Structure 1
Amino acid sequence: MNRKIITIVIVLMSVALIGIIGVQILWISNALKVKEEQFDQNAHEAIKNAIARLETNETLIQISKQLNNTSDISANTFVIGEDTIISAVGLIDLPGGLPGSDSGGQDYLKKMTDTLKSGKFTSQTINDTAEKNKSLELPGEVQSMADVKKKLSQNMDKLGVVFQKMLVEIKNDDDPLSRLDLKNLRDILENELNDYGIGLDFEYAIVTDSLMDSVAVRSENFSDGFLDSKYNISLFPNDVFRKDDSLIVHFKGKQQFIYKSIVWILAGSLTFTLVILITFSITIYIILRQKKISEIKSDFINNMTHEFKTPIATISLAADSIMNPKTLDKRDSILYFTKIIKEENKRMNSQVETVLQMALLERHELAMNLQHINVSACVESVFENMKIQVREKSGEIKLVNNATNDHLFVDETHFKNVINNLIDNANKYSDGKPDITITTGNFGNSWVLSVEDKGIGMTRDVQKKIFEKFYREATGNIHNVKGFGLGLSYVKEIVEKFSGTVSVQSEPGKGSIFIVSLPLSHDQG
């Protein structure tokens, strides 16, 4: 997969992911808006119901008071001052509608209101008022109390409640708070709100026009800043004489309550969005990693081709030289070319073996012959063999053996390969004359080996990748350093098989230090 296709795939996936996240955000925003509208609607309905209950309680209280004060009078009468009146008087069924529907009705209603307020209302008042308001076209002449009673009895059920309200409103016109059950106001509000699923703490206040729109009653923690609350409902909306008295409610923690109402939806949405995001990230990571692996493998194949091409060409030249008639009679020349063929064949075999060993390590099938050995002797053996290669480049190599305890439980062959790969790596990546120092020692319960060179060094980014399979520092298509990029990966795998660790310290231009730490063997023999 080339870079252009990968870029297109990543862009398309990114756009899709951003779109999904955008839709989720929009959906959550709309859900919150709907929940808030539902909360507002339920809150208004609950407050209205509470006000209706207050109004009903007020009516029942007034009726109870009137009944208690008129035990010797009909249950359909109320006491106003020292006189008695019939409860629905003043709301006689008129052809033009209720009193107050026209100018004559308004005069009639005003006359009755003034009379009620004065506390002097009698049957004569009805006749006098009716005589002065003939333009109202009353059904028949109202000459006596008996006529009034007859008419009222026909309209009692329909008109009684309205007149009761008028009486209460007129009597409490100057003190609207006397109509409210203030002691139970909070309980009534709380019960109604709970019925609508609103279990929030709240504060309330009552604002009356009789006090010039000032707060008449407020709960303990109600502040003036709450007066602009949207939950402002008129008190006694069914009154005949409408006023601007209102009940204001402020809810604490409203937003948290709304968020809590969709917490599971919100959590589910965020969870699935996070899953999509993680999946997207993993997918991108796998695509980029596969691309990187593909590039590394391509580089590995190129290196392998180059590494095999050189010995193959050398073997071919040596074979041609042996077959040359001029060489057939020269035993020394034949032996020389034969030795070259054998060395190159050994080199190729070593390279193939390295690749096979890494394949076995990757499949966890590499056989290990672990035993207790003296590793100092192994280090000296490898040191003597690698000394020749270093000195071929006119370099110097030193061994400093400071270890007092050098018995480890390892596979001797693979242990020697580890030491050989580290020294060979130091020799390859040294400009000019190599300068290599090998040091051994003990640190706690570990045996420590360090291989230090004064070569080209490496950056921190390269240090993070140096132990990956097939990795080689990018140098273009230059093969001045031989290898497949498997040496250090092999070192790391083998050291970890021995329950040890390997690390590197390096600075560009100053060289590198590779440190191997292995646990000491319990068997000292």
Structure 2
Amino acid sequence: MNRRIRSIFWLMTACIVGINAFQAYWLWKNYQIDRQQFSQTVQDALFQVLEQQQVGEARRLLGKKLRGRTAPADSHSSRIIIRQYGSESQQTRVFFYDQPESLSNKPKAGKQPTKRLIVTYNTNQQRAENSPLQPADSMARRISSLVMLNWAGGKNLNLFKLKNDYRTELLRRSIDTDFQLDTVTIHPRHGQSDVLIFKNDGQQSGPDKRLQTSPLPINPVQNLFVQASFTTPSFYLLRRMGWLLGGSLLLLLLTTGCFLFMLSTIMRQKKLSEVKNDFINNMTHELKTPIATVTAAIEALQNFGALNDPQRTQNYLAISQNNLQRLSDLVEKVLNLAVEEKRELTLRPELVNLAELAHDLITNHQLRAPKPIAFVADIPAEASVLVDRVHFGNALNNLIDNAINYSRDQVHIRLAFRQNRDGWQLSVIDDGIGILKTYQSAIFDRFFRVPTGNLHAVKGFGLGLAYVRQVVERHGGHIQVQSEPGKGSEFILLFTNH
């Protein structure tokens, strides 16, 4: 049985560990995927807002440096198109469109885009004789130089506006977490590039464990770049994975709870099986004794002429009657066990003098004691408590019975009463054989008896202490036991004032 339970335990443990390991691996992979997606998203968002700001600034410069009429330079997407119409055209037009799909066709009258920049260049103007540039090529280079000067100068980058635009773009992409936007300088070092040397606050910094975007250039001439740093991406990612973590934790708790419940059920069934076997052994022994006694009395009457002696006949009949009555009581007790377990104990509390109750019990046990007993009652004469006289007396009687039965050739029993402002306690102390620590938590269970093998020196069904606990708890108290094998036991009944 123990080997089978041990095998079940290890199999279930392996199952739990396997499920938890799989869950942990699955969550880790999901976290890594979300982290990669987060990193890519914040990088794309930074590139987009930086491109918008640089293109917007370039449009502003084009409108300022070149002749023509301008529209607002705050669009989100723009392109520069240079077209020279006709082989003999005298003009080159530069179109700035906000809608890329509108750039594929030649602008038509009345159907021009709402936001555009048209720069007109007059090819009739005088130019150097040796100039190899054609009008369209010249205009393209002029525009490119303006854009590059604006980019390389780096003076028109508004870091505050870039940060606000970046935050807005992140929110549009459902990312709400703190970040820091810095301008950084990158220099090659020892044959390596992309080594972070200085941030915009001028303090030296080395590699950072925070999640950082790749640096994007804002002034490649001066090696000036912009970079975003996220201080708590893990917390943000874990918050986004909340339902995954919650579901996994719930599954873990349910699985572990089922495992513990099944293990507890198996152990309880094992314990019940042992208690059942002990009960059957005790019951068999208790029933066999009166049956054997009655059988012996009847044989004496039949085979040894006891019927011719009225006195002997009367004695044998009295013995048989007593044992049959005992047998009947045992059967009745077994039949009533289930009923007593379901039925609540009914109490009739009254003010009881503990000193008088203890004196009556001590006198009764001294009269029928099978061994020498020394009683000490440390109970004040005026000690009175509100209890059910019958049930509390029976509970105290059971404790004294156990102290006598589980002792050596003689026993010393002490009853001690203590009272304070919170309540009172009554202790039954003996110097008997004691109880092993292993069994102290189980002695108050129904049918439980400390294992003694096939020896039945003490008769009973393991119901006495269960009854004591039931009576004490119905009175609003609880019972404790302190015992050491070979030195005796102390049962403490604790009650609070109510």
TM-score by length of 1: 0.73
2:455 counterpart of 1:478? yes
Partners of 1:520 and 1:330 lie apart in 2 by: 63
Superposition deviation, residue 4 in structure 1: 4.2
Q: 1:383 aligns with which of 362, 385, 388?
A: 362
Q: Which residue of 2 aligns with 1:33?
A: 32
* Residue identity matched to 1:15: A
Q: How far did residue 489 of structure 1 move?
A: 0.9
Q: Deviations over 1:316-371 (max 9, x none)?
A: 11222233352112222223223322333344345445545543332025555655
Match in the other structure for 1:492: 469
Residue 504 of structure 1 and its aligned partner are, at CA, apart by 2.3
Alignment partner for residue 128 of structure 1, among 127, 130, 135?
130
Q: Choose 467-476 or 296-305, whichever is displaced more.
A: 467-476
3-state SS in 1 of match to 2:441: helix
Which one of 374, 377, 381 corresponds to residue 404 of structure 1?
Answer: 381
Provide closer, same or farther for how the CA distance between residues 202 and 498 of structure 1 changes in structure 2, counting only shifts above 3 A. closer
Contact 1:50 1:188 in 2 (8 A): yes
* C-alpha contact 2:373 2:413 (8 A) present in aligned 1: yes
Query: Contact (CA 8 Å) 2:182, 2:200: kept in 1 or not?
Result: yes
User: How far apart are 1:29 and its partner, in Å?
Assistant: 0.7
1:235 is aligned to 2:202? no
Deviation, structure 1 residue 231? 1.1
Aligned-partner SS, 2:427: strand
In structure 2, the residue matched to 1:282 is: 261
CA distance in 2, matches of 1:43, 1:508: 72
Deviation, 1:207, is: 4.2
1:285 Cα deviation after fit: 0.6
Q: In the alignment, is the contact (CA less than 8 A) between 1:373 and 1:408 conserved in 2?
A: yes
Q: Is the 8 A contact 2:154 2:218 kept in 1?
A: no
Do structure 1's residue 455 and structure 2's residue 432 form an aligned pair? Answer: yes
Partner of 1:23: 22
Rounded to whole Å, the distance in 1 between the matches of 2:23 and 2:158 is 48
CA distance in 2, matches of 1:492, 1:373: 19
Matching residue within 182, 189, 206 for 2:183: 206
Residue identity opposite 2:243 in structure 1: W
- 1:211 deviates by 11
User: Are residues 1:60 and 2:39 paired?
Assistant: no
Shift, 1:165, TM fit: 2.1
Distance 1:397 1:186 in 2: 92
Using a 3 Å threshold, how does the CA distance of structure 1 residues 317 and 445 change in structure 2: closer, same or farther? farther
Question: How far apart in 2 are the matches of 1:371 and 1:51?
Answer: 89
Give the RMSD, CA atoms, in angstroms.
3.8
1:456 aligned partner, one-letter code? I
Determine the C-alpha separation between the residues in 1 that align with 2:420 and 2:331.
37
Q: 1:443 to 1:400 in 2, by over 3 A?
A: farther
Aligned partner of 2:108 in structure 1 is none
Over residues 290-331 of structure 1, what are the superposed CA-to-partner deviations in whole Å (9 max), with x where a residue is unaligned? 111111111111111112212221121122223335211222
Larger radius of gyration: 1
Aligned with 1:198: secondary structure?
coil
Amino acid at match of 1:128: N
State the number of aligned residues.
445
Deviation string for 1:218-243 (max 9, x for gaps)? 55598623679651243369xxx999
Deviation at 1:386, TM superposition (A): 1.9
Which one of the candidate residues 268, 292, 295 is aligned to 1:316? 295
Alignment partner of 2:341 out of 362, 379, 404: 362
Shift of 1:59: 0.9
Equivalent runs, 1:322-333 vs 2, <5 Å = 322-333=301-312
Deviations 1:9-39 (A, max 9, x none): 3333322222221221111111111110110
| Separation in 2, partners of 1:190, 1:440 | 76
Query: Aligned partners of 1:217 and 1:439: how far apart in 2?
Result: 82
Corresponding position: 1:302 with 2:281: yes
What TM-score comes out, normalization by structure 2 length? 0.77
Q: Is the Cα contact below 8 Å between 1:370 and 1:410 reproduced in 2?
A: yes
1:338 equivalent to 2:337? Answer no
User: C-alpha displacement at 1:444, in angstroms?
Assistant: 5.4
Aligned residue in 1 for 2:399: 422
- Percent identity (aligned): 30
Among 184, 194, 197, the residue aligned to 2:174 = 197
Query: Of the candidates 409, 423, 430, which is equivalent to residue 432 of structure 1?
Result: 409
Q: 2:488 aligns with which of 507, 511, 514?
A: 511
Q: Are 1:403 and 1:442, in contact at CA under 8 Å, matched by a contact in 2?
A: no
Note if contact 2:186-2:196 (Cα within 8 Å) is conserved in structure 1: no
Which has the larger share of helix?
A: 1
Question: What's the secondary structure of 2:206's corresponding residue?
Answer: helix
Distance 1:178 1:425, change over 3 A: same
Task: Note the 1:153-168 alignment, pairs <5 A.
Answer: 163-168=142-147
Q: Contact 1:408–1:520 (CA<8 Å) still a contact in 2?
A: no
Call closer, same or farther: CA 1:321–1:209 in 2, change over 3 Å. Answer: closer
Work out whether residues 406 and 432 of structure 2, in 8 Å CA contact, stay in contact via their aligned partners in 1: yes
Matched, 1:258 2:237: yes
Inter-partner Cα distance in structure 1 for 2:446 and 2:33: 57
Q: Partner of 2:205 in structure 1?
A: 224
* Gap runs ≥5 in structure 1: 77-86, 94-121, 131-141, 143-147
Q: Paired residue for 2:162, among 185, 196, 218?
A: 185
Q: After superposition, give the CA deviation of every residue in 1:503-525 in whole Å (9 maximum; x if it has no partner).
A: 3222221111223356799xxxx
Secondary structure at the aligned position of 1:300 is classed as helix
Tell me how far 1:377 sits from its aligned partner: 4.4
Question: 3-state DSSP class of the match of 2:435?
Answer: coil
Report the CA distance shift for 1:469/1:494 in structure 2 as closer, same or farther (over 3 A).
Answer: same
Say which is worse superposed, 227-236 or 429-438, in terms of deviation: 227-236
More strand per residue: 2
**Residue range with higher mean Cα deviation, 487-496 or 35-44:** 487-496
Write the letter of the residue equivalent to 2:262: T
Q: 1:375 to 1:338 in 2, by over 3 A?
A: farther
Distance 1:123 1:440, change over 3 A: same
Segments of structure 2 that go 5 or more residues without pairing to the other structure are 71-80, 88-124
- Closer, same or farther in 2 for the Cα pair 1:512/1:172, shift >3 Å? closer
2 CA distance for matches of 1:404 and 1:288?
48
Contact 1:300–1:484 (Cα < 8 Å) also in 2: yes
Contact 1:43 1:193 in 2 (8 A): yes
Where in structure 2 are the equivalents of 1:47-196 lying within 5 Å? 47-67=46-66, 70=67, 124-125=127-128, 127-130=129-132, 148-149=134-135, 152=136, 163-169=142-148, 171=149, 176-196=153-173
CA distance in 2, matches of 1:330, 1:444: 68
**Cα distance between partner residues in 2 of 1:449 and 1:208:** 83
Instruction: Measure, in 2, the Cα distance between the counterparts of 1:247 and 1:66.
Output: 27
Once the two structures are overlaid, the 10-residue window that deviates more, 241-250 or 331-340, is: 241-250
Find the aligned partners of 1:222 and 1:271 in 2 and give their Cα distance.
47
What is the Cα deviation at residue 176 of structure 1? 2.7
Shift of 1:163: 4.4
In the alignment, is the contact (CA less than 8 A) between 1:204 and 1:222 conserved in 2? no
In structure 2, relative to structure 1, the CA distance for the partners of 1:230 and 1:160 (3 Å cut) is farther
Task: For residue 280 of structure 1, report the CA deviation from its aligned partner.
Answer: 1.4
Partner amino acid for 1:40?
S
